[in-house]
Structure 1
Amino acid sequence: MPNTLVVFVHGFLSSGESFRRFPEDLLERVNRNTNSTRAFFDTLAYNYSTTGSNDQRVIEFVRFLEERSRSYAQVVLIGHSMGGVLALDAVRRCHPNSDYNRHEGHEQGIDGLYRGAGSPLQQKIHLVISVDSPFFGLHPHVIAVSGARRVGNAINWVSDRFGSAVQSRSAYEDTYSSQETSSSSRSSGWGLLGLAAVATVAVGAAAAYALSSSTRSVQADEDERAAAPGIGHAEFLSPLWNIANMAPRFEDLNNLPIEFHGFYLAVSEFGSSNRSTSLKNFVQIPPDPYRHYFQEIDIQARDEIEAHMGIFRSEFDSAAYYHLLTAVARIIADVL
């Protein structure tokens, strides 16, 4: 029996099925890299609701990992999009000396979890891999341009889940196509962060809508329909505008026994002849102090959202898919 468990963590409004054949292809590639025919690890997809308190989702994930990893010596976490943020925060939550646990409200552990002793997982999880995860927020272009186009196509789907959080394509575009903040926005009571929350929820929903129906489980769809509209999803996405926690998340990597590798997508439009002037990103590029943790994956798509949701489809951009697959397999083979 393998002594390593590789857990795949999906992103916003998605499910474990969004990884498609990547887990199986990864195992095959690791075996090839190590000249072995035996399975080096087991794989498991973690399905969860992407609504409500983000910190509560972290705690639930830690408890899930403790339960499911009992028979394994080590655990590897691979997260896509918000799943990467959740994965890294879960590992930090396991270590009592992390900035996450020193933060106000976490000193004794929310609901008494660990109270300074740490989780037994801190002895098992030493590797976290993220794919196009918005550790430093979404790129403004996604919200202002690509997201607006997508919201127009997804508006009925979005409204079904968020109700009044997103009213119309024109309202969305009016708010976010300009860099200036209107007086009505400033006096709305939401403020800039509230408007950013609505914008991010709308873009995330549009991205989820872009997924093929075959990648969303029926249960995940039912769970999201039952979730509190709009604000609950904004709560889950709070790390995207919690600026104060962005740098500490990576400062912890200097002090904790965690190996982290991140990938972000550099998107060029199909048929673009001048790659250097056409690159776009779904996520904000990590700042220089933390750039060394990340690798860039070139991918071609109509826009950033399509690339973000298509990276695990081998038929979408096979070169990008196999570039990512090879890189992740090499990292895991080194750990094993």
Structure 2
Amino acid sequence: MMRKTILLCFIHGFKGGDETFRTFPSHLKALLQHALPQVTVLNITYPKFETRGDLTECVARFKEWLQNKVIDLEVANSTPSPTVDPSVRVVLIGHSMGGIVAAEALLSIMAEQPIHSQANSQTGSMGSLSDHSTLMFPYIQGVLAFDTPYLGIAPGVVAHGAEKHWNTASSAYSAYTNLADAFGWGNKDTGPGAVDTRRMLPAPPSSSTVDAASAPLWQRYGRVAMFAGAAGAIAAGGAAAYMKKDQITQGVTWATSHLEFVGVLARPEEMRKRLERIAKLTTTQDLGFCNMHTTLGHAVNTENKEQGWTGKVAGKDRTFCNLPKGELRDFFMPAVNDKSTAETWAHMNMFDPRNNPGYYTLSETAKEKIIEWTENTEWYEESEGPLTGEVGEEAEIVERQEVDEQMQREADAKDAEEAKNAVALEGDGEFVDWKRPAAEAEAWEDEARKRSEL
């Protein structure tokens, strides 16, 4: 028997950062520490990262970062055999596309079983998802997602915004369909080749070109960021009416450098299979899984019944994410925002009590889910209690945010160079500054919120 730790690992979404979750990590930690007194509850947030490059590479960087964090905790607790009997179990908590990174990281960890059963050794099915005896490191107790578009973005994200701003509806619809063309949505070819990767900005160097052994530890960690894809990012930024197809596809706008990463949302069959594999793990590996999705409430329910094309496109549910049908729907739980009048506003303010009246209900639901996944396990029942003394202090070091100054300098230099190029291109009439739509979107959402409060 030994003292054990639940590690809450938060992964932000597209263009997010440490501020994405606001005070939610510490709030949830406090709730769980009170409810699960036999273990230590720690929380860490994946550092702000860049939304570029291939999803697989981004997941690999995140996984390496997480493994190092868990190893530090196991060493602090002097765990004899962390792969067979770990003292640390991880709950991956992702907002928006961070939930896809969490899912992919889990599947990758499952495919790299450090120890597998005799049956697996005989059959060679090391990556099988059906083997109950699979041991994984780090041990993932559950995946808790918040508004992650596992099946893509709901059509209403753009449709409702376009109808509310009828004077720009035609241009918004045009921008949306042009963006769909850029991703290959609606075409017969929905495979990876549907996106013309030749027009994308270069991805970061692959791991094969980097000497991982000689590079400093934090330089080996990629900075990943996700959201609901370029379409969702444009919709969430309120910029659909301002973007043009040539600006999206020519590699000169803010969205272009991220198309390779968010292109995963252009492959519906791949998204469906990912969700099904995660759902299967809830029975074969006792994994906890839940996606808490935003749903608009009273602020829009009091409006007149929708008419015209919006209702046909968007349906009756005002959600940011496409929702599954059948048994998979059981893994999706509504998180109602009675104040928001736009799906994107609710999506971006899930963890802000001032703009989400349902924040505390959401927090309680998250707590109950993690308790459900943990409390009745032998792992929890056999714990001797939370970490104490020097071991506890050493473990808390892992929880503290670390900053790599060299990485920050490189990121700042990249931002400055992109801003300089943006000004030059805009002067030639070839570019719409990516910061402008975000500012206009903020003003648009402010106006919508004020109208709803009248």
TM over 0.5: yes
8 Å Cα contact 1:260-1:293 kept in structure 2: yes
8 Å Cα contact 2:162-2:169 kept in structure 1: no
Partner residue in 1 for 2:80: none
8 Å Cα contact 2:150-2:275 kept in structure 1: no
Question: Aligned pairs, how many?
Answer: 278
The alignment status of 1:317 with 2:356, answered yes or no, reads yes
Distance in 2, matches of 1:235 and 1:296, equals 30
8 Å Cα contact 2:148-2:293 kept in structure 1: yes
Q: Letter of the 1:330 partner, please give it.
A: E
Q: 1:127 to 1:81 in 2, by over 3 A?
A: same
Per-residue CA deviations over 1:284-320 (Å, capped at 9, x if unaligned) read 01222311112111112020000000110012123x1
What is the SS of the residue equivalent to 1:307? Answer: helix
Unaligned runs of 5+ in 1: 99-114, 153-167, 211-226
What is the SS of the residue equivalent to 2:43? Answer: strand
Distance in 1, matches of 2:183 and 2:31, equals 52
The alignment status of 1:305 with 2:334, answered yes or no, reads no
Per-residue CA deviations over 1:31-69 (Å, capped at 9, x if unaligned) read 3434x5x97311111132222211111111111111111
8 Å Cα contact 1:13-1:204 kept in structure 2: no
Q: 1:260 to 1:203 in 2, by over 3 A?
A: closer
> What is the CA-CA distance between 1:24 and the residue it aligns to?
1.1
> What is the CA-CA distance between 1:9 and the residue it aligns to?
0.4
Q: 1:121 to 1:17 in 2, by over 3 A?
A: farther
> What is the CA-CA distance between 1:147 and the residue it aligns to?
7.2
Q: Determine which of 252, 273, 294 is the counterpart of 2:332.
A: 294
Q: Determine which of 271, 276, 280 is the counterpart of 1:246.
A: 271
Partner residue in 1 for 2:78: none
The alignment status of 1:268 with 2:297, answered yes or no, reads yes
Partner residue in 1 for 2:437: none
Q: Letter of the 1:266 partner, please give it.
A: T
1:110-125 aligned within 5 A: 121-122=136-137, 124-125=139-140
Partner residue in 2 for 1:17: 19
Distance in 1, matches of 2:63 and 2:367, equals 24
Partner residue in 2 for 1:173: 173
Q: Percent identity?
A: 24
> What is the CA-CA distance between 1:267 and the residue it aligns to?
0.9
8 Å Cα contact 1:94-1:120 kept in structure 2: no
Q: Letter of the 1:52 partner, please give it.
A: G
> What is the CA-CA distance between 1:270 and the residue it aligns to?
2.2
Partner residue in 2 for 1:109: none
Partner residue in 1 for 2:64: 63
Partner residue in 2 for 1:101: none
Partner residue in 2 for 1:8: 10
Distance in 1, matches of 2:172 and 2:63, equals 36
8 Å Cα contact 1:91-1:122 kept in structure 2: no
Q: Letter of the 2:32 partner, please give it.
A: V
8 Å Cα contact 1:12-1:208 kept in structure 2: no
TM-score when normalising by structure 1: 0.69
Unaligned runs of 5+ in 2: 75-87, 114-124, 129-133, 188-193, 201-227, 240-251, 307-315, 376-454
8 Å Cα contact 2:13-2:94 kept in structure 1: yes
What is the SS of the residue equivalent to 1:282? Answer: coil
8 Å Cα contact 1:87-1:128 kept in structure 2: yes
Q: Determine which of 143, 151, 157 is the counterpart of 1:128.
A: 143
User: 242-251 or 282-291, which moves further after superposition?
Assistant: 242-251
8 Å Cα contact 1:9-1:16 kept in structure 2: no
Partner residue in 2 for 1:52: 53
Q: Alignment RMSD, CA only?
A: 4.0
